Structure 1
Amino acid sequence: MNYELLCNKVIAIARLTGNFIRKESLSFDDAKIEYKGLNDLVSYVDKTAERQLVKNLKKVLPEAGFITEEDETENTYNQPFTWIIDPLDGTTNFIHGIPTFSISIALYEGSEPVLGVVYEINRGEMFYSYKGAPAYLNNKEIRVSRSSNLSQCLLATGFPYYQFDKQPQYIQLFTEMMQKCHGLRRIGSAAVDLAYVACGRFDAYFEYNLNSYDMAAGAFLVKQAGGQLHNFSGGDEYLQTREIVASNGLVTQEILNTIKKHFN
């Protein structure tokens, strides 16, 4: 498998669908919002974008299965390759006219991630990597930050928006984290948060109640850029446990120790 060639094709596919999403954002009618659940929004833009991505990715790798957010394709598992796709990560931002949303595409070979692309649409920033390569932003190699103490760090996170049973612990965690670092940011797109860790804008990112399509591509970028990935317990099963701590590797233990005080 020529992963570099495949990655170039995926980048072109992401850019094409990104053009569609950007165009729709200029005239989006919020009367077309649908609700999948409490505060869980979707629109025709998400669904159309997903169909476009699936159609074009099938052309470049017909033997691959899919895990997608909107289920606009017959999701297939246990294939030699699996695409994990979020066609519009940051739907709530998109609907409200906040210009931070992205396309997230990861490819797994068996249980191993081998390719990741995150396209931050409005800034035109294409983050990508593939097996055997470093991580890149618009053709320039990127690395995680070198901050070695939380007091030097800018962190990213996400807020619970429908699973509120852990909200009290999370607020306590926010309070402690805010006192230990330069600040906490909540952008509203997990894929972008992870891409920003990969390029050193954020020193670390943590969140729970995520799905695989939220973090698969971005997590791969962090790994390829020299970072570390864990769940809240410090294990490696972040996709399975639906919680992630992504960092530059230098502040991992300090963050995990703080999280463990509030989550056990």
Structure 2
Amino acid sequence: MLNIAIKAARRAGDIINQASRNLDLLNISKKSRSDYVSEVDGAAEEAIIKILHDAYPSHAILAEESGARGAMAQAEYQWIIDPLDGTTNFLHGLPQYAVSIALKHKGLLNKAVVYNPNNNELFTASRGGGAYLNNQRLRVSKRTRLEDCLIGTGIPFRDLTHLEAYLKMFKDIIPRVAGIRRPGSASLDLSYVAAGRYDGFWEIGLAPWDMAAGCLLIQEAGGLVGDLEGNDSYLESGQILAGNPKVFAQLLQVIQPHLSQALIDNHRNAKNTSTAV
């Protein structure tokens, strides 16, 4: 199954690379405020779905552009796909975007592929089998002091409901760390945590397809992933914190005092939904 996912990611990467040479010719539309989609997103997604469906016609699929296919709640296998994570970067010619494909088996993340077609970096993971970058084993960083750490993040841009709470977190984290980066592709950010390039990461307002593959990569590389209260409902709530075990705990302490009631309610509702399912 991992090999099929790699095949699908590379096929999507070929489509993206070809389109990147003629950005001015693309048809672009808006899904919502500051949220763009191009014909490349759709073409890459359909290529991924075709490869997955041809190999596993009974599997359910949740994809960013086309939504859910199959009985997601009842299906033993569920693919979670973002065909082009970082569309805004792509449309501006900024080479920071990726294809993200994850597989859930009986409700647990089981396979992960994040592919950066710009530099042919292929991040992969299997539950219990470790995480890899182009066949080289990955481990999260070993830094223990927050002041030495490079932290990744994503600034809210679609839904600004929690912007004030986020900015309070940002302001409190800045003087405590070596640096903060916001490149604009969550799947790559999470992959960088797994690779030890970042020591930690946090973001508010993500979708499952933004996170699923990257989360398994981090866990298989020895890191921790949770929501902003440290619980496991991040895929449902869209609020995520990740890092090596030492950094995860320290970031959690900095972030938690700035959680708004709306964020707390969001986490609790997501946790209840997850438990109910």
Which position in structure 2 is the counterpart of 1:15? Answer: 10
Letter in 2 for 1:25: S
Report the alpha carbon displacement of residue 188 of structure 1 after superposing the two structures with TM: 0.5
Q: For the Cα contact (< 8 Å) 2:4–2:51, is it kept in 1?
A: no
Which position in structure 1 is the counterpart of 2:248? Answer: 252
Which position in structure 1 is the counterpart of 2:178? Answer: 182
TM-score, length-normalised on structure 1? 0.95
Which position in structure 2 is the counterpart of 1:108? Answer: 104
**Cα RMSD, aligned residues only:** 1.3
- Secondary structure at the residue paired with 1:144? coil
Cα distance in 1 between the residues matched to 2:5 and 2:158: 32
Which position in structure 2 is the counterpart of 1:166? Answer: 162
Q: For the Cα contact (< 8 Å) 1:51–1:72, is it kept in 2?
A: no
Which position in structure 1 is the counterpart of 2:151? Answer: 155
Specify which of 23, 38, 47 is matched with residue 43 of structure 1. 38
Cα distance in 1 between the residues matched to 2:222 and 2:68: 34
Cα distance in 2 between the residues matched to 1:30 and 1:152: 44
Which position in structure 2 is the counterpart of 1:133? Answer: 129
- Mind listing any 5+ residue stretches in structure 2 that lack a counterpart? 261-277
Cα distance in 1 between the residues matched to 2:229 and 2:14: 39
Report the alpha carbon displacement of residue 60 of structure 1 after superposing the two structures with TM: 2.1
Cα distance in 2 between the residues matched to 1:131 and 1:170: 32
Report the alpha carbon displacement of residue 29 of structure 1 after superposing the two structures with TM: 2.2
Q: For 1:65-144, what aligned pairs fall within 5 Å after superposition?
A: 65-71=60-66, 74=69, 76-77=71-72, 78-144=74-140
Cα distance in 2 between the residues matched to 1:215 and 1:10: 16
Report the alpha carbon displacement of residue 72 of structure 1 after superposing the two structures with TM: 6.7
Letter in 2 for 1:260: Q
Specify which of 10, 15, 25 is matched with residue 20 of structure 2. 25
Letter in 2 for 1:148: T
Report the alpha carbon displacement of residue 9 of structure 1 after superposing the two structures with TM: 2.4
- Secondary structure at the residue paired with 1:251? helix
Identity %: 39
Q: For the Cα contact (< 8 Å) 2:59–2:70, is it kept in 1?
A: no
Deviates more, 1:161-170 or 1:106-115: 161-170
Q: Give the aligned length.
A: 259
Cα distance in 2 between the residues matched to 1:252 and 1:173: 14
4+ residue runs of structure 1 moved beyond 3 angstroms?
Answer: 72-76
Which position in structure 2 is the counterpart of 1:3? Answer: none
Offset from partner CA, 1:7-52 (integer Å, 9 cap, x none): 1222122112101101101101276210001111000000111000
Cα distance in 2 between the residues matched to 1:108 and 1:50: 18
Deviates more, 1:159-168 or 1:71-80: 71-80
Which position in structure 1 is the counterpart of 2:190? Answer: 194
TM-score, length-normalised on structure 2? 0.90
